[in-house]
């Protein structure tokens, strides 16, 4: 009887197999000094900096690797670290970029020469290598990385943040002194109850891919509708390498994803669905053109990269004039250099270039939400108007912000105060000590 009834409730086990007790979500409570949420362009640097400054640091990343838009989104050409013949952003971001360039045997663009197009000073990276190095540097700095997790609850209690973070089969309550929101979307700031702003119409996202299997130079373009010329040409750039010259191109084809929003799993799923669907249709259409019969999708980035979602309403909101005039704030903690660069409805780009010798700066106040406690942001959700944001969002600037936010958070944590109360000179000194370039008044 026993044997028979046992057989009825227990699945038959093959040799070597064993039955596992039903999984119960693992719940635990842990503490840390600094919690960085989002291990993207800014968050990776913030976490490394916090760890190196000697603070216990946890980094929560909802994806499976570090780098965010730089790696997972496929925008593997950070800019801009140099302006007008000088380095303007250095520190940990630059160190990571250089380690990647050198390990991959790449060459740097000629920064001594002022380029005819700003993007020529961006640095092409081997994105997979970048993720490896970023992770190594985090671990060396003692950062506790938690992949596949996302905060679900956040509360400020008795001078500490209590953050509930849920991942695959885990639910963790993290008590921390300071939070740095590097999600790109100011999601944690919003969950904490701080105001966030968004444009009615946001710039489109892009799904980045690469095509192969055709030769642009022998295509008969008269047989290809005009609207497809760009995508076919853009994709061929890699072929035009010449050893004697500097080369900063990477193949970079993309389809626009209108309204793409990465703030929640639901909105990011929609953005991915739409981008992939557009791309699939594009591939099918391109293959019908003469000369493109063997066209292939050679590479596709993991997710739709998102340009614009929410920004915090910070203690200072940077505006376009601050940016283009190169205003150096008393509490400037990083430079930023890029043209104003707004993708309008996916149809055109509004660009405004900085005048010679002008370099913008970012005040610490723009990283601190109004009425906040023990809270900072870094990255594209910096407090700024839309046009200033279109330039501030670039990767070197995000890295500069990440490093600065971490330094402010660490000092605030050690002193038991909010980042806005930290003596700005201490922030600047510690930043310099860690190799960052701090803007100075002329």
Partner 1 sequence: MIKVRFFCVVIIGLIGLLLTSFLQEKQSIKYMQVATIESSAADEPSIIVTFKDSVTNETIFLCKTKDNIPLHYFKKVTGEVCDDEECRLLNIVVYWNITGRYLGFELPKGEFLSKYDHDPFSENEYQQLHKLLADESLPLDKVSFEKLLEQPNNKKEDIDALSGATSKNIADMVVKGAAFTTYRLWNTVNGTTMDFVSELTEKQLTQTLLNRILQSQDITDKLWALHRMDAVIGLTPQLEAALLEMISSDDFYLSYSAIKAINSIHLKSAELQNRLFSIYQKTNHSIKTALLKKLMEAPFLSSEIIQTSRDLLPQLNGQQLDDLLQLYTKHNINDVETYTVVAKILENENKYISKNAYAFLIGLQINDDDIIELLNAYKKEKL
The residue ranges that bind ligand FAD (CB under 6 A) are 37-43, 60-63, 68-70, 73, 75, 77-79, 122, 150, 182-184, 187, 205-206, 305-307, 379-380, 393-395, 398
Q: What number of other Cβ atoms are within 10 A of residue 166's Cβ?
A: 16
In whole angstroms, the minimum distance from the beta carbon of 145 to ligand FAD comes to 11
Closest CA to 180 of 337, 27, 332, 364: 364
Q: Do 378 and 179 contact (CB within 8 A), yes or no?
A: no
Stretch that binds partner 1, among 31-39, 90-98, 178-186, 415-423 (CB under 8 A): 90-98
Q: Give the phi and the psi of residue 75 in degrees, each rounded to 5.
A: -90, 70
Tell me which of 42, 52, 145, 361 binds partner 1, using CB under 8 A. 52
In whole angstroms, the minimum distance from the beta carbon of 395 to ligand FAD comes to 3
In whole angstroms, the minimum distance from the beta carbon of 289 to ligand FAD comes to 25
How far apart, in whole angstroms, are the C-alpha atoms of residue 44 and residue 36?
9
Q: What is the DSSP string of 110-154?
A: -TTSPPSSGGGGS----HHHHHHHHHHHHHHTT-EEEET-EEEEE
In whole angstroms, the minimum distance from the beta carbon of 218 to ligand FAD comes to 30
Helix 41-52, helix 127-140: angle, nearest 10: 30
* 223 near partner 1, rule: CB under 8 A: no
Cα angle vertex 225, ends 223, 226, to 5°?
A: 120
In whole angstroms, the minimum distance from the beta carbon of 264 to ligand FAD comes to 8
* 77 near partner 1, rule: CB under 8 A: yes
Tell me which of 242, 330, 355, 356 binds partner 1, using CB under 8 A. 242
- Share of the chain residues as helix, strand and coil, in percent rounded to the nearest 5: 35, 25, 45
Question: Closest residue (Cβ) to ligand FAD?
Answer: 40
The residue written with tokens 């007790």 in the block is: 21
* 86 near partner 1, rule: CB under 8 A: yes
* 91 near partner 1, rule: CB under 8 A: yes
The token pair that represents 418 in the structure block: 């909010």
Site for partner 1, rule CB under 8 A: 51-54, 75, 77, 79, 82, 85-87, 90-92, 94-95, 98, 102, 108, 110-113, 115-117, 119-120, 122, 140-142, 206, 217, 221, 226, 229-230, 233-234, 236-237, 240, 242-245, 248-250, 252, 341, 343, 346-349, 351, 433-435, 437
């Amino acid at each position: 009887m026993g044997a028979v009834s046992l057989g009825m409730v227990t699945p038959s086990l093959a040799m070597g197999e064993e039955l596992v007790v039903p999984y119960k979500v693992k719940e635990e409570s842990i503490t840390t000094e600094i919690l960085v949420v989002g291990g993207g362009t800014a968050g990776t640097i913030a976490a490394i900096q916090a760890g190196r400054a000697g603070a216990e640091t946890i980094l929560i990343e909802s994806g499976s690797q570090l780098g965010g838009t730089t790696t997972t989104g496929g925008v593997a050409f950070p800019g801009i670290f140099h302006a007008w013949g000088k380095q303007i952003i250095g520190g940990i971001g630059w160190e990571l970029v250089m380690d990647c360039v050198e390990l991959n045997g790449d060459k740097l663009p000629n920064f001594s020469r002022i380029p005819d197009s700003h993007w020529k000073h961006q640095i092409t990276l081997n994105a997979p290598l970048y993720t490896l190095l970023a992770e190594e540097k985090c671990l060396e700095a003692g950062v506790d990385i938690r992949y596949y997790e996302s905060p679900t609850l956040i509360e400020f209690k008795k001078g500490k943040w209590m953050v509930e973070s849920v991942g695959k089969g885990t639910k963790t309550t993290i008590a921390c002194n300071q939070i740095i929101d590097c999600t790109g979307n100011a999601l944690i700031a919003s969950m904490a109850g701080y105001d966030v702003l968004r444009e009615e119409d946001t710039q489109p996202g892009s799904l980045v891919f690469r095509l192969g299997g055709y030769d642009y130079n022998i295509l008969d373009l008269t047989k290809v509708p005009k609207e497809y010329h760009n995508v076919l040409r853009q994709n061929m750039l890699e072929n035009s390498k010449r050893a004697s010259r500097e080369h900063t191109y990477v193949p970079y084809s993309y389809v626009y994803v209108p309204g793409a929003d990465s703030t929640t799993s639901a909105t990011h799923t929609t953005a991915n669905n739409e981008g992939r669907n557009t791309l699939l249709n594009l591939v099918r259409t391109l293959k019908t053109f003469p000369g493109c019969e063997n066209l292939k999708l050679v590479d596709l980035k993991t997710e739709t990269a998102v340009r614009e979602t929410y920004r915090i309403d910070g203690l200072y909101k940077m505006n376009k004039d601050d940016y283009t005039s190169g205003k150096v704030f008393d509490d400037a903690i990083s430079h930023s250099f890029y043209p104003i660069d707004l993708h309008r409805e996916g149809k055109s780009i509004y660009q405004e270039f900085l005048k010679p010798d002008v370099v913008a700066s970012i005040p610490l106040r723009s990283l601190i939400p109004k009425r906040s406690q023990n809270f900072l942001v870094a990255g594209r959700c910096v407090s700024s108007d839309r046009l200033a944001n279109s330039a501030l969002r670039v990767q070197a600037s995000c890295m500069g912000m990440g490093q600065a936010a971490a330094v402010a958070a660490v000092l605030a944590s050690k002193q038991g105060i909010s980042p806005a109360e930290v003596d700005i000179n201490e922030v600047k000194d510690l930043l310099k000590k860690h190799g960052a370039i701090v803007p100075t008044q002329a």
